[in-house]
Amino acid sequence: MNKCFILFGLIPLLTGCFDSDMVFEDQYEPVVEAYLYVDKEVGNIQLSSMISFGTDSSGGEKITNALMVLEGESDSWILFHDEFSPGRYYMEERPEMVPGDTFRLRVELEEESLSAVTVIPDNPPAVSMSSHSISITKVDNMMDFRNVVMPDPVELTWNNPGAKYYFLNIQNIESYPIPIMPDPPENSRFATGGFLFQMITQPTNDSYYFIDIRQLEYFGTHRIIFTSVNDEYVYLYNSLNQDTRELNEPYTNIENGLGIFTAFNSDTLYLEVLPVYQ
């Protein structure tokens, strides 16, 4: 299976409104969103500021004047700021990333220093698929579509004796995909990464996953990126998807700041969804 990567943002703008007579002082903190991908360039690191409380202020401003350094097991690299994408930092080299290697990110600002550590996760296990190709009848109206018999879900299985966490990113990679359902929306919106269809699952420590064919929207080739993740990603995901009544702060592994620094290790599979014309 080919190595691949995922590009998707997970940290939302951390602001909120409260109906209260309490008065809070504005509290500004830098927010780091940094992801490393095995076999890929380092170019998905974002730096911004946020405001914790306040009524007349706004947050989310991009930070463009930081000194950012990535440190590996035996080498270090200075990251450059992208003047065409404020708040984004990148490096021109591709560091070798081996499962188990530790990487540290240091961010130097005018009055404070931030740091975080992550470990490159293990290679994902081999995945078996119940089918690499499925067929669906193509019809022209919703009345006929109601009678279309959908194929059974595609089952993905893998060995997971250590109950490690993985997630899947399912993307339709056709340039001009044909919709499965009749009468699709006239102005289809591209998903993250420029795909008309993309579905990202929640982290799971199971040893299987079923792709429900009814969730797919287009015929054609679907790329399935199977990714191993670290605990910090799972903690962040769970904290961002908590019950709103809990009001707990999102998880962070950034020392003296907020956000996430983590690494992904992925393999890629493919699923063909073929139209059958009557």
Q: What is the pLDDT of residues 127-155, one digit of tens each?
A: 999 999 999 999 888 888 888 889 999 99
Which residue pairs from 238-244 have beta carbons closer than 8 angstroms and sit at least 24 positions apart in sequence?
Answer: 240/10, 240/11, 240/12, 241/202
Lowest mean pLDDT among 42-51, 110-119, 217-226: 42-51
C-alpha 133/C-alpha 275 separation (Å) is 11
C-alpha 30/C-alpha 68 separation (Å) is 13
CATH domain 128-228+267-277 topology: Immunoglobulin-like (2.60.40)
Position 190 scores a pLDDT of: 65
Q: What letter would DSSP give residue 75?
A: -
Mean model confidence pLDDT for the chain: 85
C-alpha 145/C-alpha 179 separation (Å) is 12
Q: Which residue has the tokens 């020392």?
A: 255
pLDDT reading at 111 higher than 90: no
Q: What is the pLDDT of residues 50-78, one digit of tens each?
A: 755 443 444 579 999 999 999 999 999 99
Rounded to the nearest 5°, which phi and psi values hold at 162?
Answer: -90, 5
Percent of the chain, pLDDT > 70?
81
Q: Are strands 258-277 and 133-138 parallel, antiparallel or unpaired?
A: parallel
Percent of the chain, pLDDT > 90?
65
Position 257 scores a pLDDT of: 93
Q: Are strands 67-71 and 76-81 parallel, antiparallel or unpaired?
A: antiparallel
- Check residues 18 and 134 and name the one with the higher pLDDT: 134
Q: What is the pLDDT of residues 187-208, one digit of tens each?
A: 666 666 677 899 999 999 999 9
pLDDT reading at 81 higher than 50: yes
Position 195 scores a pLDDT of: 79
Q: Which residue has the tokens 């670290």?
A: 230
pLDDT reading at 18 higher than 50: no
Average pLDDT over residues 210-234: 96
Confidence of residue 182 (pLDDT cuts 50, 70, 90): confident
Contacts of 168 (CB under 8 A, 6+ apart): 156, 200, 201, 209, 224, 225, 226, 227
Position 209 scores a pLDDT of: 98
pLDDT reading at 24 higher than 70: no
What tokens appear for 123 in the block? Answer: 């290679």
Rounded to the nearest 5°, which phi and psi values hold at 143?
Answer: -60, -45
Position 147 scores a pLDDT of: 87
Position 188 scores a pLDDT of: 60
Position 230 scores a pLDDT of: 96
In sequence order, what DSSP letters do the residues of 3-67 get, joined into one string? --------PPP-------S------EEEEEEEEEETTS-S--EEEEEEESS-SS----PBP-S-E
**129 with 268: CB under 8 angstroms?**
no
Q: How many CB atoms lie within 10 A of CB 149?
A: 6
Average pLDDT over residues 212-223: 94
